[in-house]
């Protein structure tokens, strides 16, 4: 298979198991007393979802590397695309029954590498519907996963060639430790846009892409590089936003141009409306 066919196979395999992941969350809401490579407490669901996706993805011909936010090291599994995954983004939202998701990046180079090597990317949102936002041939399409009898699913194209509309919402994470310049920036933005912040990256960026606006998890006084992992969260989502007509930045450059030196490195993350991203680069400077 060529790399586009491998990317299609990865998308299909993940989509087919989403009903199993979604239904499996209900009995795995406890913390397991372990931490992931980013020193974050792991829910049983984090560990379980990671193992499930790992088995599915590493068995695909044309996948050369499997790297997970939940695992310290890369799994070498042949030749081909390098797959990054955040198996359960926003897992701290599970105990409160809020949105969670899965973020997948497919790189045409060995990890760690720049986001410019992304061949495709998608994120799943487990909500009232299970939806998948995906880059295909430079356009962004949204699918709904519909369960059928047995383990069968229909993957239904819901919106094609999505372009972000005029900005109307914003959402900024990490507010307990914002710097003074970022507090001033947020105060200015809050005057013109509606606040939408749900505590799960996939749910919040999904609002940004549908309603138009700006989403950020910025640098913090206690975390100069912010919270999001470049390879597992920031690159795949920035790739999707930029292919939907938006922009992304770490305050200096597109997220996709940030040099990747460590597998679990973090990056300050801003993405959404192109003019608002330019405003970030003009007014803010990461430490």
* Residue pointed to by tokens 């599994």: 77
**Pick 78 or 287: Cβ nearer ligand FBP:** 287
| DSSP one-letter string for 207-276 | HHHHH-EEEEE--BTTBTT-S-BIIIIIHHHHHHHHHTT-EEESSSS-GGGS---STT-B--EEEE-HHH
Query: Among 13-21, 52-60, 86-94, 145-153, which window interacts with ligand FBP (CB under 6 A)?
Result: 86-94
Least separation, in Å, of the C-beta of 248 and ligand FBP? Answer: 15
Q: Interface with ligand FBP includes 200 (CB under 6 A)?
A: yes
**Pick 70 or 142: Cβ nearer ligand FBP:** 70
Asked if 169 contacts 211 with a C-beta cutoff of 8 angstroms, the reply is: yes
Q: Interface with ligand FBP includes 225 (CB under 6 A)?
A: no
Least separation, in Å, of the C-beta of 72 and ligand FBP? Answer: 15
Q: Which of 19, 90, 218, 272 binds ligand FBP (CB under 6 A)?
A: 90
Q: Interface with ligand FBP includes 40 (CB under 6 A)?
A: yes
Q: What are phi and psi of 106, to 5 degrees?
A: -125, 110
| C-alpha–C-alpha distance, residues 109 and 115, integer Å | 10
Least separation, in Å, of the C-beta of 220 and ligand FBP? Answer: 9
Query: Cβ contacts of residue 186 below 8 Å, gap of 6+?
Result: 172, 175, 178
Estimate to the nearest angstrom the gap between the alpha carbon of 159 and the chain centroid.
19
**Pick 126 or 217: Cβ nearer ligand FBP:** 217
Query: Among 85-93, 156-164, 258-266, 278-286, which window interacts with ligand FBP (CB under 6 A)?
Result: 85-93
Least separation, in Å, of the C-beta of 214 and ligand FBP? Answer: 14
| C-alpha–C-alpha distance, residues 25 and 248, integer Å | 31
Residue 141: strand pairing partners: 134
Q: State the number of binding residues for ligand FBP (CB under 6 A).
A: 13
Q: Interface with ligand FBP includes 174 (CB under 6 A)?
A: yes
Query: Among 56-64, 89-97, 247-255, 265-273, which window interacts with ligand FBP (CB under 6 A)?
Result: 89-97
Q: Interface with ligand FBP includes 243 (CB under 6 A)?
A: no
Q: Which of 126, 201, 239, 269 binds ligand FBP (CB under 6 A)?
A: 201
**Pick 63 or 234: Cβ nearer ligand FBP:** 234
In angstroms, what CA-CA distances link 48 with 2, 42, 43, 85?
30, 10, 9, 14
Asked if 101 contacts 120 with a C-beta cutoff of 8 angstroms, the reply is: no
| C-alpha–C-alpha distance, residues 100 and 17, integer Å | 15
Q: Which of 86, 242, 250, 273 binds ligand FBP (CB under 6 A)?
A: 86
Q: Interface with ligand FBP includes 89 (CB under 6 A)?
A: yes
Residues in contact with ligand FBP by CB under 6 A are 40, 86, 89-92, 173-174, 199-201, 217, 227
């Amino acid at each position: 298979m060529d790399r586009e066919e491998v990317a299609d196979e990865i998308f299909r395999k993940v989509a087919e198991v989403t009903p199993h992941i979604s239904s499996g969350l209900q009995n795995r809401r406890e913390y397991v007393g372990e931490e992931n490579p980013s020193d974050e407490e792991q829910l049983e669901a984090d560990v379980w979802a990671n193992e499930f996706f790992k088995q599915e993805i590493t068995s695909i011909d044309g996948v050369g590397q499997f790297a997970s936010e939940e695992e310290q090291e890369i799994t070498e599994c042949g030749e081909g695309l390098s797959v990054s995954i955040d198996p359960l983004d926003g897992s701290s939202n599970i105990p409160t029954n809020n949105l969670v998701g899965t973020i997948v990046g497919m790189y045409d180079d060995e990890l760690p590498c720049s986001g410019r090597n992304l061949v495709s990317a998608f994120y799943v949102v487990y909500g009232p519907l299970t939806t998948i936002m995906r880059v295909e041939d430079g356009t962004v399409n949204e699918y709904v996963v519909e369960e059928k009898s047995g383990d069968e699913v229909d993957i239904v194209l819901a919106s094609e060639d999505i372009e972000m509309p005029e900005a109307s919402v914003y959402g900024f994470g990490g507010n307990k430790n914002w710097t003074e310049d970022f507090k001033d920036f947020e105060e200015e933005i809050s005057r013109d846009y509606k606040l939408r912040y749900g505590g799960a990256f996939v749910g919040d960026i999904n609002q940004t892409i549908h309603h138009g606006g700006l989403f950020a998890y910025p640098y913090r006084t206690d975390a100069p590089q912010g919270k999001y992992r470049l390879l597992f969260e920031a690159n795949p989502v920035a790739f999707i936003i930029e292919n939907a007509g938006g922009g992304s930045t770490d305050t200096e450059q597109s997220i996709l141009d940030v040099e990747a030196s460590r597998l679990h490195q973090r990056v300050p993350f801003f993405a959404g409306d192109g003019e608002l991203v330019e405003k970030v680069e003009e007014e803010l400077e990461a430490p």
